Amino acid sequence: MNITPRESGWIEVICGGMFSGKTEELIRRLRRAQIAKLKVAIFKPRIDTRYSNDHIVSHNQLKLQSHVVDAAEDILPLGREADVIGIDEAQFFDTGIVEACKTLANLHKRVIVAGLDTDYKGQPFGPMPELMCEADFLDKLQAICVVCGNPASYTQRITQDTGQILVGESDFYEARCRNCYEPPEN
């Protein structure tokens, strides 16, 4: 795949459960674009403060400077001058993220989006299902189940908190396979 759109843009979506390497893959693609001397703009939602306030950061501490935004509409003015736009933790954005990505792709931008496809209940998370449908390229990554070692597509919450959004890492979540995942009781 070309890393620079020619006469067209596109949307790449990287999804999966917690600890599957979504941000790591996003950073890998963005670094390759930087090596190619493309102008890159990186965004994350303000709610994501786990490792840094102004970087996207993988669980293994790879990081890139990013713009912190409150809403999807804030991405458009900052992303228009870039060749490649990276967006992390897309599940935390409002549904306007879908239109923002489509608009940027229609402006001949390469848009790379990473996010959780399902929440801890195993339900579709935020705008991710629609982004996955709009994707020109879609990668669903798996983690490793912490119980049995099988490929894991589920995020097991290990606290009693029942809100859909609880920003955390291994202190609140584990990667689980289909067999080891324990859906929360309603």
What number of other Cβ atoms are within 10 A of residue 145's Cβ? Answer: 21
Backbone dihedral region for residue 120 (phi beyond 0: left; psi -120 to 50: alpha; all else: beta): alpha
Which residues, other chains included, contact 145 with Cβ-Cβ below 8 Å and sequence gap of 6+? Answer: 151, 152, 175, 176, 177, 180
Q: Which residue shows structure tokens 């549904």? A: 95
Q: What is the DSSP letter of 49?
A: -
Q: Are 21 and 27 in contact (CB under 8 A)?
A: no
What whole-number distance in Å separates Cα of residue 113 and Cα of residue 22? 9
Q: What are the residues facing 116 on neighbouring strands? A: 16
Catalytic residues: 89
The residue ranges of DSSP E strands in 7-76, in sequence order, are 10-16, 40-45, 55-57, 63-65, 67-69
